[in-house]
Amino acid sequence: MASERKATLIIEGREPVEFPIMTPVHGNDCIDIRTLGAKTGLFTYDSGFLSTAACESTITFIDGDKGELLYRGYPIEQLAEKCEFLDVAYLLKHGELPNVEQKKTFVNIIKTHTMIHEQMARFYQGFRRDAHPMAVMVGVVGALSAFYHEAENFADQTQRNISFNRIVAKLPTIVAMAYKYSMGEPFMYPRNDLSYTANFMHMMFGTPCEKYEPNPVLVHALDTIFTLHADHEQNASTSTVRLAGSSGANPYACISAGIGCLWGPAHGGANEACLKMLEQIGDVSHVPEYIKRAKDKNDSFKLMGFGHRVYKNFDPRAKLMRKICADVLQELGLENDRLFKLALELERIALEDEYFVEKKLYPNVDFYSGIVQKAIGIPTSMFTCIFALARTVGWMAQWEEMISDPDLKIGRPRQLYVGASRRDVPPINQR
Ligand code: SDX
């Protein structure tokens, strides 16, 4: 929100230039520099966007110093304890938690949109069985654009609601089909008698040969994991979705772009990378050697699942994930799980090490999520697909906020050009 306060830019030999300071409800004041180029011919330089607010948003707030995460003002700890994932999906989209009637209607809409077009199932046949499931998701989710042309009419709120409901409903089916295809098992159709997350587990682990009843403790754990991953303000993949959407691209194409970005090991791929790292460390006795490597500037090794651009205190999701992990392992009689014990010891040692303390590197959401997903029976290669399934509700809410902005402009950053000066093309025999 604009305020009366101003920031004054003073450059030697130039007249001072003033810019308004924007005041948020929570978080950092922002200097509105949208007129900087026109007024001064200058750009700001901020590669990696360390100090840049790319948009105004009402959806999610993170206080990195306090380790606070709010979805539409509600603390993540309360949402994880008191709500289901579909409550949170509704909240992120509509701005308020659903009442009894709204929840019933929303759940029924989602249940009746869980199947995908039968011809979409053929897309899977085009992939090798050992294709990474995130590659499958990029392709299949993007292909939804080919089946729902009306999604282009997103100026119409009804169409935006339909697109949101469709993709929230179909992502579990698409993810489960990617898993079944990789296993060489038949696809499982959705069951409308099950809850959202129980149905997902049915489609993942059920077979036509016998009735599959998901373990309610595991269903609750996975449903909470979905909530923890649902949104996270302007992270790399959400920014990708917003930038793609700013061109007017179909929402499914934008979500596909977000999936591609989330795949990276520095982002959503960290849970898969973290589990592989724990397997690589292997034993608590090896932890000091890997801590040493993580601190070595000449060694590219990083402790996966540690550090965060915003959280310079504990990631609140990591605390909740550690509890979920303990509950799931206890339910499955795996309290002495080797990797969980190793993770706890790695966390303890790292948090006592002055390098991690000085650089404020704490476990993030990805540190424990791999262990709990592996215990539930989800293979490592599917971890980021689970993240994408959950983050899709946040991406769609952020996409809608962007597309509904009356001041929407196509995102088009500039650059600091440090390449060759202007020069003429020489004849080939003079090159
Ligand atoms: C997610 O943005 C989001 O909100 C993302 C996310 C979401 O919900 O969308 O929260 C999900 O992506 C969580 C992060 C998952 N990634 C990892 O766990 C990968 C390991 N972490 C690092 O790659 C890193 O911490 C990042 C990418 C998460 C953050 O990188 P930044 O903010 O650019 O910080 P940086 O890389 O500049 O690190 C600051 C310093 C560096 O040392 P110096 O150059 O200052 O000497 O800390 C060091 C880094 O070398 N450092 C680490 C480290 N992370 C940072 N050293 C060892 N191990 C690590 N994990």
User: Thinking of the domain 270-376, which architecture would CATH place it in?
Assistant: Orthogonal Bundle (1.10)
Contact 25, 3 (CB under 8 A): no
Coil, helix or strand at residue 248: coil
User: Does residue 267 carry a catalytic annotation?
Assistant: yes
Q: Considering only CA atoms, which residue is closest to atom 54 of ligand 1?
A: 307
325: tokens are 């992990």
Taking residues 204-231, report their average pLDDT: 96
Q: Which helix (H) or strand (E) holds 425?
A: none
Q: Which helix (H) or strand (E) holds 274?
A: helix 270-281
Alpha-carbon distance of 56 to 34, in angstroms, equals: 13
> 151 C-alpha to center of ligand 1: Å?
36
Q: How would residue 4 be classed by pLDDT, with cut points 50, 70 and 90?
A: confident
Alpha-carbon distances, residue 105 vs 99, 108, 110, 170, 249 (angstroms): 10, 5, 9, 17, 29
> 18 C-alpha to center of ligand 1: Å?
35
Alpha-carbon distance of 336 to 342, in angstroms, equals: 10
Residue to mutate (ligand 1; options 359, 360, 398; most atoms within 8 A of CB): 359
User: Thinking of the domain 2-53, which architecture would CATH place it in?
Assistant: Single Sheet (2.20)
What's the pLDDT at 150? 77
pLDDT greater than 70 at residue 391 = yes
pLDDT tens-place string over residues 109-133? 999 999 999 999 999 999 999 999 9
Contact 54, 239 (CB under 8 A): yes
How open is the CA angle 317-321-327, to the nearest 5 degrees? 150
Residue type, 210: E
368: tokens are 């424990």
Domain ranges, ordered by start, for the chain: 2-53, 76-210+228-265+385-403, 270-376
The catalytically annotated residue of 229, 308, 315, 337 is: 308
pLDDT tens-place string over residues 130-146? 999 999 999 999 999 99
Q: Taking CB atoms and a 6 Å cutoff, what residues make up the pocket around ligand 1?
A: 232, 235, 266-268, 270, 294, 302-310, 359, 361, 364-366
- For domain 76-210+228-265+385-403, give the fold: Citrate Synthase; domain 1 (1.10.580)
Contacts of 394 (CB under 8 A, 6+ apart): 59, 60, 92, 230, 231, 232, 238
Contact 124, 181 (CB under 8 A): yes
User: Does residue 26 carry a catalytic annotation?
Assistant: no
264: tokens are 């990276």
For the whole prediction, is pTM greater than 0.85?
yes
User: Does residue 366 carry a catalytic annotation?
Assistant: yes
pLDDT greater than 90 at residue 154 = no
What's the pLDDT at 2? 62
pLDDT tens-place string over residues 275-300? 999 999 999 899 989 999 999 999 99
Q: Considering only CA atoms, which residue is closest to atom 30 of ligand 1?
A: 309
What's the pLDDT at 373? 93
pLDDT tens-place string over residues 63-82? 999 999 999 999 999 999 99
pLDDT tens-place string over residues 315-349? 999 999 999 999 999 999 998 888 889 998 998 98
Atom of ligand 1 nearest to the CA of 309: 32
Residue to mutate (ligand 1; options 63, 241, 306; most atoms within 8 A of CB): 306
> 362 C-alpha to center of ligand 1: Å?
10
Alpha-carbon distance of 277 to 265, in angstroms, equals: 12
Q: On the CB side of 115, how many CA atoms lie within 13 Å of its CA? A: 7
181: tokens are 């295809």
Q: How would residue 196 be classed by pLDDT, with cut points 50, 70 and 90?
A: very high
Proportion of the chain above pLDDT 70, given as a percent: 99
Contact 152, 249 (CB under 8 A): no
> 112 C-alpha to center of ligand 1: Å?
40
Taking residues 291-317, report their average pLDDT: 91
Q: Is 71 exposed, middle or buried (0-12, 13-18, 19+ CB in 10 A)?
A: buried
Q: How many CB atoms lie within 10 A of CB 256?
A: 24
